[in-house]
Amino acid sequence: MTSLVSARNVSKSFGSVRAVDDVSFDIEKGKIMGLIGPNGAGKTTLLKAVLGLTDCEGTLSVLGLDPFRQRKELMQNICFIADVAVLPRWMRVNQLLDFVESVHPRFSRPRAEELLARTKIQSKSKIRELSKGMVTQLHLSIITAVDAKLLVLDEPTIGLDIIFRKEFYGNLLNDYFDKDRTILITTHQVEEIENLLTDVMFINDGRIVLHASMDALPERYVELMTSGENAERARRLNPIFERDVFGKKVLTFEGIAREQLRGLGELRTPGIADLFVAKVKGATA
């Protein structure tokens, strides 16, 4: 079985609001999947369902387990950072390591200590004495020291400065990630993770609007920067979205071969952020 997470017709409602609406997808082993969506799109609800923190309709299987009903077994093989700075503030660093060591069969204390030795975090420090960036470093060190199959990160770097953010993703790739591990990540700072993703999934109004591997994006999507008459001609090819940049028109196309657009202007592969805006705004326009 290569599919680590498998969702079939998963829905979750809060009252009359469908936060996640009939979603189906698979995440395969060894991938780094970015889940991108605006606030209130259902990202966090979907992640919570994957983590067994909330019940849902439909069929959801994570590592072959039902996440809500087999949460304890699941948590032996999954790690997550739900938000920055949720480590208990009253705890000391060494108490935290003691605790995780005693409840987590896959936690390697020497590995965690090795990772922490590279930071300025002292084992006697209380978590409330650490800066927000250091708390995230600590959390990532603990998680990296757990031999988990799936890591789920929900806005792991929100509120951190640029140095910590860069370092976080650097450490994530260098220390944590290998071909046996899988990462599912959401963030608003899309540009920062764009280069590390292998797959991307857009979610809007509880529905998945795009699910593709990063390698497939250049084939499927192209952006044309043009103006005047050429723009008119390009519009006939049904771009999914159009925006203005410095007085020029940027048109995003889906499923149009680059040859058809050649000669009409500058061609490039859209960035994730632009593509996201194109898919979401284009759909509502």
CB 11 within 8 A of CB 58: yes
> Smallest gap, in angstroms, from Cβ of residue 142 to other proteins?
9
Nearest-angstrom CA–CA distance, 150 and 62:
9
Burial code (b: 16+ CB inside 10 Å, e: under 16) for 226-250 equals beeebbeebeeeebbbbeeeeeebb
Complex with other proteins: residue 152 or 203, whichever CB lies closer: 152
Give the residue, chosen from 72, 124, 179, 236, that forms a contact with other proteins under the rule CB under 8 A: 72
Looking at residues 17 to 56 of the shown chain, list those that interact with other proteins (rule: CB under 8 A).
Answer: 48, 51, 53-55
CA dist 57 to 5, 36, 90, 146, 236, Å? 16, 22, 37, 30, 42
Crossing angle for the helix pair 162-171 and 132-144, nearest 10 degrees? Answer: 0
Quick count: other Cβ atoms within 10 Å of Cβ 209?
17
Check residue 158 for interaction with other proteins (CB under 8 A): no
Looking at residues 173 to 232 of the shown chain, list those that interact with other proteins (rule: CB under 8 A).
Answer: none
Check residue 82 for interaction with other proteins (CB under 8 A): yes
Give the residue, chosen from 24, 40, 64, 105, that forms a contact with other proteins under the rule CB under 8 A: 105
Instruction: Choose one: 32-40, 72-80, 192-200, 272-280; the region binding other proteins (CB under 8 A).
Output: 72-80
> Smallest gap, in angstroms, from Cβ of residue 99 to other proteins?
6
Complex with other proteins: residue 47 or 275, whichever CB lies closer: 47
Complex with other proteins: residue 49 or 278, whichever CB lies closer: 49
The DSSP symbol for 87 reads S
Q: How many residues interact with other proteins (rule CB under 8 A)? A: 32
CA atoms within 13 A on the CB side of 208: 18
Looking at residues 128 to 157 of the shown chain, list those that interact with other proteins (rule: CB under 8 A).
Answer: 139
Q: How far is CA 203 from the centre of its chain?
A: 11
Contacts to other proteins by CB under 8 A? 48, 51, 53-55, 71-73, 75-76, 78-83, 86-92, 95, 98-100, 102-105, 139
